[in-house]
Amino acid sequence: MDQRGVAREAIAYTVALAVILGVWQAAASYSHLLPGVPQALSFLYDNLGQAGRDTLITLENTLAGFTIAVLLALALAWAAMLGGLVEETVKAFNVVVQSVSVLVWSLLFLIIYGFTSRLPAMSVAAATAFPIMLSGTLKGFEVSRAEYGELSRMLGLSRTQELAHILAPGSLPFLVASARSALGAALRISVVAEAFGASGGIGYRLWLYYELHNYEGFMAWALLLVTLMLVLDKLVLERVEAWGRRWTG
Amino acid sequence: MIEARNLVVRAGGTPISGPASLRVSRGEIVVIAGPNGAGKTSLLRALAGLADSVEGYYRVRGTPAYIPQSDMLLPWKTLGDNIAFPLLVRGTPRGEALRRVESVAGLLGLKPHLHKYPREASGGTRRKASVARGLVVGADVLLLDEPFAGLDVAAKGALLEGLKRLAGGGITMVLVTHDLLLASRIADRILVLLPPPRGLSAEYSLRGLGKAERYGVAEEVVKLITREGGF
């Protein structure tokens, strides 16, 4: 993106943020429960240590689940390249996983792992990221094979060599684009699992503050979550995506 | 180097190329011409061992390298790494692979471009890199599918010179091309392939002919293809 594009994007985000904060402030003036923006920011400032610890827990949960999803998606997409029944089964499995509600996943993992474990949040993040990653990886592998499959045959590459040298790097633009969506979705959803049953993290604290009728804390942590999402997307994922697409020019 | 007798390529049981009977000697440059749908690429792929369903006899002595119409260069690797790729996946040590890349690149005038990524190189340079990738494994038979397609005049000329040098070094070449006037400058023979069941139907020798005579033969072949192709 050129300098003009960066400036335009900065203005767009500033306007969007100003509108949302303005609506929030306007709503706060009508509600005797909803705190205003300054109160929420002040609460966040006073509890920065807790905010940092919760952010770290949520990031750990999300990244652990996301990593599991990526590894599983890569393994299944590679298996799908065998074609025939295996490919059909992998695709069907993906559709089934996709059709399960996040609420069902969250409660299911709570039943399995219990209410104080961090595993439900990680597992929900994995279950959310997995179908997105698998769809992207399958698409990337299919496009790479269509484009370079004959090269693999010409050079007599083994399946492992084809994966390492052709399919994986050839799918990189698809993988990073999927990873951006999958990580964002996993982060948004893992906080839901944290709210249902965990002993830390942004989702847990959001639910705790709500239960305690501490709405300043609730809005402060909502702001924290949005900020984390934006920072992660704009400063990390967007750059990783650009890096993954660098040779597609 | 190459021998085929009644070679027919099929797809889903239907013949898509041939029958073809041909013999190509070491260092010879043979051009296969024909109308669209004659099965030129299928014949070339069959000779490279890439066709799924083939009947008849064929034998390629030596190491063949098929150079497809699309360069199939991996965009995430430099041209040098693309050329070295077949060696590296076969376990050749990197130093040895790079030495052989330098040697092949020298033949085709590619040395100044080895550090470039495919998107940074011209069409002609990419095509030469694709040829070099075939040669680097020690191929002595090049099967080139439309090597001049999409290149500008200068790039065509440079590629033609490169191929001429390779033939001088004993590399055998079979070229499929529609650019007959250009190919006639280096070809020893032109074979005309028509859609099945007619297959390889005519052969023209260009050995010992001057430039003008070669162009004359090429024009005659174009007329034949136009007539037979129903244009």
- HEC profile of chain B: CEEEEEEEEEECCEEEEEEEEEEECCCCEEEEECCCCCCHHHHHHHHCCCCCEEEEEEEECCCEEEECCCCCCCCCCCHHHHHHHHHHHCCCCHHHHHHHHHHHHHHHCCHHHCCCCHHHCCHHHHHHHHHHHHHCCCCCEEEEECCCCCCCHHHHHHHHHHHHHHHHCCCEEEEECCCHHHHCCCCCEEEEEECCCCEEEEEEECCCCCHHHHHHHHHHHHHHHHHHCCC
CA A161, CA A94: separation in Å to the nearest integer? 26
State whether A157 and B89 contact (CB < 8 Å). yes
Backbone angles phi, psi at B214, to 5 degrees: -60, -45
Q: Say if residue B64 is preceded by a cis peptide, omega within 30 of 0.
A: no
Quote the domain boundaries for residue B147. 1-62+140-231
Measured CB to CB, residues of chain A less than 8 Å from chain B are 147-148, 150-151, 153-155, 157, 161, 165-166, 169-170, 172, 247-249
Amino acid A84: pLDDT:
83
Distance from CA of A151 to the nearest CA of B (A): 7
Same domain, B197 and B224: yes
Confidence band (pLDDT; 50, 70, 90) for B185? confident
Same domain, yes or no: B48 and B35: yes
* The pLDDT of residue A66 is above 90: yes
> What residues of A are in contact with residue B78 (Cβ under 8 Å)?
none
Residue A128: is its pLDDT beyond 60?
yes
Q: Which of B63, B72, B87, B130 would best serve as a mutation to test chain A binding (most A beta carbons within 10 A)?
A: B72
Residues B127-135, mean pLDDT to the nearest whole number? 84
Which residues in chain B have Cβ-Cβ distances shorter than 8 Å to A167? none
* pLDDT value, residue A67: 94
The residue in chain A having the minimum alpha-carbon distance to the alpha carbon of residue B137 is A155
Lowest mean pLDDT among A94-98, A212-216, B209-213: B209-213
pLDDT tens digits, A132-173: 999 999 999 889 988 888 888 888 888 888 888 888 888 888
Q: What is the mean pLDDT of residues B63-74?
A: 85
Structural domain ending residue among the three candidates B104, B139, B174: B139
Tell me, yes or no, whether B30 and B58 share the same domain. yes
Contact B76 A148 (CB under 8 A): no
Residue A193 DSSP SS3: helix
A–B CB contacts, 8 A cutoff, strictly below: 34
Query: For chain A, how far is it from start to end, CA to CA, in angstroms?
Result: 13
Least confident of A70-74, A77-81, B40-44, B163-167: B163-167
- Residue B22: per-residue pLDDT: 86
| Domain end call among B97, B122, B139 | B139
**Option in B76, B89, B119 nearest A155 (CB):** B89
State the pLDDT at residue B18. Answer: 74
* Confidence label for B227 from pLDDT (cuts 50, 70 and 90): confident
Using the 3D structure, point to which of B96, B114, B139 is the last residue of a domain: B139
The mean pLDDT of B191-200, rounded to a whole number, is: 84
Q: Are residues B49 and B149 in the same domain?
A: yes
Q: Are residues B224 and B149 in the same domain?
A: yes
Q: Do B56 and B124 sit in the same domain of this protein?
A: no
Confidence of residue A219 (pLDDT cuts 50, 70, 90): very high
Q: List the B172-176 sheet strands across, edge first.
A: B64-67, B141-145, B172-176, B29-33, B189-194, B199-205
**Is residue A63 predicted with pLDDT exceeding 60?**
yes
The residue in chain B having the minimum alpha-carbon distance to the alpha carbon of residue A243 is: B76
Assess whether B228 and B120 both reside in one domain: no
Residue A46: pLDDT band (50, 70, 90) is very high
Residues B110 and B8 in one domain: no
**pLDDT (0 to 100) of residue A54:** 92
B48 and B144 in one domain? yes
Q: Quickly state the pLDDT bin for B165 (edges 50, 70, 90).
A: confident
> B25 to chain A nearest CA, in Å?
23
B157 and B56, same structural domain?
A: yes
| B1 and B89 belong to one structural domain | no
The predicted pLDDT at position B230 comes to: 57
Q: What is the CATH number of the domain that holds B11?
A: 3.40.50.300
Question: Over pLDDT 70: what percentage of chain A?
Answer: 98
Supply the pLDDT for residue A69.
Answer: 93
Model confidence at A72: pLDDT above 60: yes
What is the number of domains present in chain B? 2
Global ipTM: 0.76
B229 pLDDT tier (thresholds 50, 70, 90): low
Lowest mean pLDDT among A235-239, B136-140, B151-155, B227-231: B227-231
Assess whether B1 and B100 both reside in one domain.
Answer: no
Is a pLDDT exceeding 70 seen at residue B104? yes
pLDDT of residue A55: 93
Question: What is the model's pLDDT at position A249?
Answer: 58
Cα B200 from chain centroid (whole Å): 17
What pLDDT, on the 0 to 100 scale, is given for residue B211? 83
